Structure 1
Amino acid sequence: MNDDTTPWMKLLRELFGDDADDALAELERMGMDPAALANASGMAASPGMMDHVLSQIRALMAQSEGEDVNWTLAHDVARGVAAQGGDPTVTAAVADTHRAAVSRAELWLDAVTDFDPSSLTPRVWSRAEWVEATMPTWRVLAGPVAVSVSHALGGVLRGEGDGDHTERDEELAAFGLGPGQASGIMNSVSPTVCGMHMGQAAGEMAREAFGGTDLGIPLLTDSRVALVPHAIADFAEGLEIDDDEVRTFVALREAAHVRLFAAAPWLPGQLHSAIERYASAITIDPEALDSAVRDAGAGDPAKLQKALSRGIFAPEHSEAQAATLESIETMLALIEGWVDDVTTRAAAPHLPHIGQLREMMRRRRASGGPAEDVFASLLGLELRPRRLRDASSLWAALSVRLGSDARDELWSHPDLLPDADALGDWEAWVGKYVSGDDSADDMDRDLEKLLSGGYASSGETSTDGPLSGEESSDGDAEKGPNGDSDQT
């Protein structure tokens, strides 16, 4: 059986190089008959199958050579996962229906915001097309932490940092990996596993993403409305609401996001930079990663890929990371709150089930859909806007008391927006902003003098806006868009 012309020895030699004999000996020690395995697999009787397996191995190793993450594999895996269960090409009729929904949405949004619509033609995509359009952004956002995981995983697989390698050597030997193995397959494992992990995450999100803004972060490189009909149809199923109403509601949200990101050009860059800054400071818990590798087995890339979702990130954040995370979550809440308020006001005169659709979307975000799970898995980053209801109430109160122009003026500069503490007490913040802070005490005034360009200056520009007694109470702010749609 040691003849290099036999199928199994050709495969082992390709995989393990000079360690192939040790791998074969280990298989036999474990009670496995290589000849029987070869016959059972069909490789012994099919040289073509063996050549196919070897060609796949060569291609995989070539893809990973010199890379920390096999991005080609990530792309291919994402396409494969997205296509599970079928991913038919979008027909012209379906595309026209969804573009018509976008046209309606843009018309209705014109009545509630002066932010301009996108001048680019809306896209209607299959899931595979969504993957193609968003993968460049995935690589930018998740790339730094994927590289960190790849380095850490490679060190664990090679047993680096262990004073006693005996246990690790026995563990690797169980999978045919000899001590000190230097073959190319070992060096390709970590980039391959991380590529699979990235692709799996992107593919899973592709199966349920409505468009390019599901995360509240623009995933497209241009300001364009994009819809994925199959995901929208799945969302509509079981709601007992007309499909066209659901389609228009989703189009409203997508178009509102795109308008906001285009009107506040600093916003996408600041979000991306904050996420990259957070990701670059992520540390891996070596004990958790080592445990995951031991449980999964170093010889099974698929199991290793799944193991990366099991809490491998260090549980404690640095002070800088905690501040960045709070900033990201606050900004996402403000974005979602503005979109929620604006789309509700735009849809109220036209969509009879807007209240139900709004609540369904909130529950989808609160329970953690695929978008949130993806970033939690890839970055250990919680992207659910915890204060969405507070943010929605804040924007609703500003709409009622100041009107849409003054409300949207806040997006002209990041310093004008409330921070996390202010969002936690949004009623007080709105009161100060609307009144020009006349009720603030001396200490507040002294602090605001130190904060040049802070809330006081913002308030002074809005004192001409209409004031309205108790209209910004929590309950009224929540109901305002539905009940007071004529004020938009």
Structure 2
Amino acid sequence: MGLYRSMRAVTGASGSGAIDWSAVAEATKAATDPGSLDIDDAEREGYATDVRDARNRVREVSGIDFDLPETVEIINRHHWTDNNVETFERVMAPLEDHVGMFPSAARKINSGTMTVALSFLARNVLGQYDPLLLAEGVGADEHALYFVHPNIQRVADTLDADNDRFRRWIAFHEVTHAAEFGAAPWLPGHLETRMEQAVDRLADGDVDRETLGELDTTMTAVEGYAELLMDRAFDDEYEDLREELEKRRQGRGPVQKLIRRVLGLSMKRRQYERGKDFFDSVADARGIEYAGKVWEQPENLPSDDEIEEPGLWLQRMD
């Protein structure tokens, strides 16, 4: 019944844009079990404690004074969908006037493609730090932190991991991103500008490889620094969790692997690895607080060559 409702929503896509976002939201939720948010007070307090502990520990290790997002929510898959449909709509707005020669057919195809992508993400995202990029009327310092509880519970059970430990690991990882954006108030605007440039060029039928390369390098720094802080701040060994999670990803079927590739999730894994190697080298050479110089100004971001050769970045900073 859910699949039927999902297909009906997509085939009924209407409007004047390239994508019917209302249809996408309806179809995604029809195809996705929302999952249970039936958690007791102890577990709810566990989330809050994990986030507070992560903030305090990351502050101590990094030397960065940052605040937690005012919005910290435990959500289900449908809540995640509603939040992210709005984000995707904002990011892809420049494409709205480019629906091709057959607008009705193109709109249905585009809406169906977005439904597949969002359905996959809704079932797999565990936690999300959201700096609310491209949101009209939202200040540059506004951000949110979400935990998709049904996904966290399912993955912990699949990995046969201790639920409290796995939840705490996810909390620490997301809070490290809050630390980065807290250290670099310029970072949201930096990402927004390049995202808009890349999408504008795409709307004109061109691929802005230079801007996309800059985005990839910046996100490599973002993910790598988060890994550095996790290694230093988390109060337990967690390599077993990372290894088991990676095995689970590698063990997916061909369709899931294809979706991950199309969504760029394989590239995200590469960003983690390259960024972690860069910041490990910097921290080993100068200390973890020195590594935080990356966030002092946009000019301090490493280039792609510097990520491969951290010594080049150190020479430039000295």
When normalised by structure 2's length, the TM-score is 0.79
Which of 1 and 2 has higher RCO (CA within 8 Å, sep 6+)? 2
1:243-279 Cα deviation digits (max 9, x unpaired): 2111111100111112212321222232233233223
> Is residue 47 of structure 2 the alignment partner of residue 131 of structure 1?
no
Question: Between Structure 1 and Structure 2, whose CA radius of gyration is higher?
Answer: 1
- Equivalent-residue separation in structure 2 for 1:340 and 1:243 (angstroms): 21
1:282 is paired with a residue whose SS is: helix
Please, which of 61, 65, 68 is the counterpart of residue 118 of structure 1? 68
> Is residue 176 of structure 2 the alignment partner of residue 226 of structure 1?
no
Aligned twin of 1:102 = 51
Q: Is the 8 A contact 2:132 2:144 kept in 1?
A: no
> Is residue 272 of structure 2 the alignment partner of residue 324 of structure 1?
no
Aligned twin of 2:185 = 265
Aligned twin of 1:429 = 312
Q: Percent identity?
A: 20
- Equivalent-residue separation in structure 2 for 1:328 and 1:370 (angstroms): 25
1:227 is paired with a residue whose SS is: strand
Aligned twin of 2:5 = none
Please, which of 353, 376, 399 is the counterpart of residue 262 of structure 2? 376
1:409-441 Cα deviation digits (max 9, x unpaired): 221111112101111222x325xx2xxx4xxxx
Q: Is the 8 A contact 1:278 1:325 kept in 2?
A: yes
> Is residue 286 of structure 2 the alignment partner of residue 415 of structure 1?
no
Report deviation, 1:127: 1.0
Distance 1:385 1:355, change over 3 A: closer
> Is residue 117 of structure 2 the alignment partner of residue 201 of structure 1?
yes
- Equivalent-residue separation in structure 2 for 1:147 and 1:256 (angstroms): 38
Report deviation, 1:98: 2.0
Aligned twin of 1:141 = 91
Report deviation, 1:64: 1.8
Aligned twin of 1:65 = 15
1:237 is paired with a residue whose SS is: helix
1:265 is paired with a residue whose SS is: coil
Distance 1:274 1:418, change over 3 A: same
Please, which of 177, 182, 192 is the counterpart of residue 108 of structure 2? 192
Report deviation, 1:197: 2.4
Distance 1:90 1:139, change over 3 A: farther
Distance 1:283 1:129, change over 3 A: closer
Report deviation, 1:118: 1.1
Q: Is the 8 A contact 1:223 1:262 kept in 2?
A: no
Q: Is the 8 A contact 1:82 1:206 kept in 2?
A: yes
Any runs of at least 4 consecutive aligned residues in structure 1 with deviations exceeding 6 A, and if so which? 362-372
Report deviation, 1:363: 6.6
Report deviation, 1:374: 6.5
1:74-119 Cα deviation digits (max 9, x unpaired): 1212222332xx5223535343332222222223212212331315
Distance 1:141 1:371, change over 3 A: farther
- Equivalent-residue separation in structure 2 for 1:406 and 1:79 (angstroms): 45
Q: Is the 8 A contact 2:18 2:95 kept in 1?
A: no
- Equivalent-residue separation in structure 1 for 2:96 and 2:118 (angstroms): 13
Report matched runs for 1:205-354 at 5 Å: 205-213=121-129, 218=131, 222-282=142-202, 321-347=208-234, 350-352=235-237, 354=238
- Equivalent-residue separation in structure 1 for 2:266 and 2:147 (angstroms): 25
- Equivalent-residue separation in structure 1 for 2:16 and 2:300 (angstroms): 46
Q: Is the 8 A contact 2:69 2:178 kept in 1?
A: no
Distance 1:414 1:344, change over 3 A: same
Q: Is the 8 A contact 1:124 1:228 kept in 2?
A: yes
**Structure 1 letter corresponding to 2:236:** L
Aligned twin of 1:77 = 27
Report deviation, 1:209: 0.7
Report deviation, 1:281: 2.5
Report deviation, 1:346: 0.5
Q: Is the 8 A contact 2:159 2:245 kept in 1?
A: no
Distance 1:283 1:69, change over 3 A: closer
Aligned twin of 1:404 = 288
2:128 is paired with a residue whose SS is: coil
- Equivalent-residue separation in structure 1 for 2:248 and 2:214 (angstroms): 22
- Equivalent-residue separation in structure 2 for 1:240 and 1:111 (angstroms): 31
1:69 is paired with a residue whose SS is: coil
Q: Is the 8 A contact 2:294 2:302 kept in 1?
A: no
**Structure 1 letter corresponding to 2:166:** V
Distance 1:275 1:361, change over 3 A: farther
- Equivalent-residue separation in structure 1 for 2:306 and 2:14 (angstroms): 48
Aligned-residue CA RMSD (Å) = 3.6
| Structure 2: runs of 5+ lacking an equivalent | 1-7, 136-141
| Count of residues in Structure 1 that have an aligned counterpart in Structure 2 | 301
**Structure 1 letter corresponding to 2:167:** R
1:195-226 Cα deviation digits (max 9, x unpaired): 2322332222111111224xxx7467632222
- Equivalent-residue separation in structure 1 for 2:249 and 2:309 (angstroms): 22
1:112 is paired with a residue whose SS is: helix
